[in-house]
Amino acid sequence: MSDVIKLLPSHIANQIAAGEVVQRPASVVKELIENSIDAGADKIDLVVKDGGKTLVQVIDNGCGMSDTDARMSFERHATSKIAKADDLFALQTKGFRGEALASIAAIAHVSLKTKLHDAELGTEIINEGSKIVSQEAVMCSNGTSIAVKNLFFNVPARRNFLGKNSTEYRKVLDEFLRIALVHPGLHFTFHHDGEEIYNLPPSNLRQRIVQLYGDAYNERLVPINEETDIVKIYGFITKPNYSKSKPDQSFLFVNNRFFKDRYFNHAIVNAYEGLIASNKYPPYFVYFDVPTQSIDVNVHPTKTEIKFEENQAIYAFLRSAIKQALGQFNVAPTLDFEHESTFTTPALKKGETVKMPEIKVNPDYNPFNTGSSASSSSTKSAGVSGDVKSNGFSQIQPNKQDWENFYGEIEEEKHNEVTVSSSMDVDDEEVLSGETKKPVQIKEKYIMSSVKNGFILIDQYRAHMRILYDDLLGVNDNIQVQQLLFEERMELEKHDLPMWKEIVESINDLGFDCELEGDVLVIKGQPAVAKDQNPVVLIQGIFDTYQHDEQDESVEIKTKLARSIAANAALKGGTVLTIEEMQYIIDALFASSSPQIAPNGKKIIETFTMDEITKRFN
């Protein structure tokens, strides 16, 4: 049998290695900007086209490279950052300069220009698919400029798996934000498709957060600070009333490196217990400083998963620091144990003395006296008639007629309670015979209606969602717009602007009247089906829901928006419905395209047959 094991060609090995380092354009952005920071740059420019598919360019004013180092930077396992294995566990840099370039160059066209500060000329290298096409001396600025074009040009299967431009742009933006947040002292600019997205001059951490997320964030931030022998914790959390429906502004950093950790995220969210709803997420920007030898950053190729030696202690410190910050800035509710109003007595007037309380007792009271001349005020309040004497203890005399009236009223109250809890009047004979014709609302969440051989339960929220969804997509030309008496102005977060630009026209097609003015969305009208809702709250909910669905590129924008509008405009649980409203929902649901399934894929109707009910009583 002939030998079957052989070495892979270097270009194939590089493409395989690139799969670990370069998953999408955002991976290129991360590697190149981190290399610029490690090179000592204090000004870094990021230029992106088509979400990074066509171009990712990073320009810095760092130390630059010699012509030899520039050539070596494209070789695998070539780095200026470590010299021995122990250096892996004491990293002070972002990564290994050169390893990333070798992987990137294997699946893209790369142009590198670099110049040392004391050199007259720089070096330009053109590398296409791990092949050095040219290297020559050129005039260029101090530092390094790397342009990565046509990502995955030689791996079409990988390129086909990339998202649309807007999706890849958001991934690039996420990486940019993570780096900009951890280096507020550096000057960053970000251009996408020729438009300046950010120009961030050097600042402090609070200013950098405001630069990225808008002036409104300044009043939302609450500082945290905790320093122990194990860890230093600092940064900002946000006030509970600014919690979001998505955890897209949750940032953890350790030693100036972004990382993800569900354990520490739990500590933060747990500190907000009782202050936010279970489906809400507080934005936070939390930083840890720990000894480098107490963490391992090489758990995952992207270095976003990190092991901590003292993770349990850090969890406790983190939770405590956040609770303290929420209390210190009067965000969390507090109890004043120094003051109890129940025991507060007014000050005595001049010359007034303390008067001892008196207890008056009727000496003529006989509990065995069965006379009918007296009754208590308490029984009178329950419908019992009679005179009440209040000389000491009330003289309560039982009366047969009064007690009969008392129990009679209790039975009447019980009957009233049953009537109220069913949300409507139901004839007992109809219920017992199984011939109820009127729908019944249960717990202000479900609608019960009889069918030929049993009954059905309908989730009113999901049913209304299905009805609205079909209306929005089925009769677009006839959707009625309810104009607002006063227009609403909604300040948008800067990093969300590209998505708003993408969907605002489709939103208007579905019954809104909106337009963008810079980073403000002006709302002039909304669908008539949602006329009673706050337009800002409604449209923010629609946007949040759309963001969640945005990853599914097989669905058209208008369809995803219709689903978002229906989900946010439908009648929520807890809404009391009249019989007519319940009947409308039932009729409209069974006339819809899919009565059984809501647009979010969840069940609308549950059926109970008489056979199933009978079995439960056997």
CA angle 403, 408, 414 (to 5 degrees): 130
Axis crossing angle, helix 165-182 with helix 25-38, rounded to the nearest 10 = 20
Say if pTM beats, i.e. exceeds, 0.85: no
Q: Higher model confidence: residue 594 or residue 362?
A: 594
Number of H helices, E strands in the chain: 18, 22
Label the pairing between strands 454-459 and 446-451: antiparallel
Axis crossing angle, helix 535-549 with helix 557-569, rounded to the nearest 10 = 130
Q: Higher model confidence: residue 423 or residue 550?
A: 550
| One-letter amino acid of 565 | I
Question: How many CA atoms, within 13 angstroms, populate the side-chain half-sphere of residue 116?
Answer: 9
Contact between residue 382 and residue 409 where contact means Cβ atoms under 8 Å apart: yes
In Å, the largest CA–CA distance within the chain is 121
Contact between residue 163 and residue 108 where contact means Cβ atoms under 8 Å apart: no
pLDDT tens profile 79-113: 555 555 555 555 555 654 446 788 899 899 999 99
How much is the pLDDT for 404?
Answer: 42
The pLDDT mean for the chain works out to 79
**What is the band of 616 on the pLDDT scale with cuts at 50, 70, 90?**
confident
Q: Higher model confidence: residue 102 or residue 374?
A: 102
User: Highest mean pLDDT range out of 287-301, 536-550, 596-610?
Assistant: 596-610
Please measure the distance between the N-terminal and C-terminal CA atoms of the chain and give it in whole angstroms: 73
E strand map for 232-342: 232-238, 250-254, 257-259, 284-289, 295-296, 307-308
Axis crossing angle, helix 460-474 with helix 579-590, rounded to the nearest 10 = 60
Cross-strand bridge partners of residue 135: 125
How much is the pLDDT for 244?
Answer: 83
How much is the pLDDT for 374?
Answer: 43
pLDDT tens profile 255-269: 998 998 899 999 999
How much is the pLDDT for 172?
Answer: 95
Residue 223, C-beta contacts closer than 8 angstroms, at least 6 positions apart: 206, 234, 235, 236, 325
How much is the pLDDT for 10?
Answer: 65
Alpha helices in 351-433 (DSSP H): 377-381, 400-421, 428-433
pLDDT tens profile 147-174: 999 999 988 888 888 888 888 998 999 9
Structure token digits, residue 27: 């991976």
- Give dist(CA 203, CA 211) in Å, integer: 9
How much is the pLDDT for 518?
Answer: 84
Contact between residue 263 and residue 311 where contact means Cβ atoms under 8 Å apart: yes
Residue 68 φ/ψ, nearest 5 degrees? -70, -45
Average pLDDT over residues 177-202: 95
- Give dist(CA 565, CA 557) in Å, integer: 12
Domains and CATH numbers, the chain: 10-200 (3.30.565.10), 205-328 (3.30.230.10), 377-409 (no CATH), 428-618 (3.30.1540.20)
Q: How many CB atoms lie within 10 A of CB 33?
A: 26
Residue 585 φ/ψ, nearest 5 degrees? -60, -40
Report the SS3 class of residue 301. coil
Residue 612 has pLDDT above 50, yes or no: yes
Cross-strand bridge partners of residue 196: 191
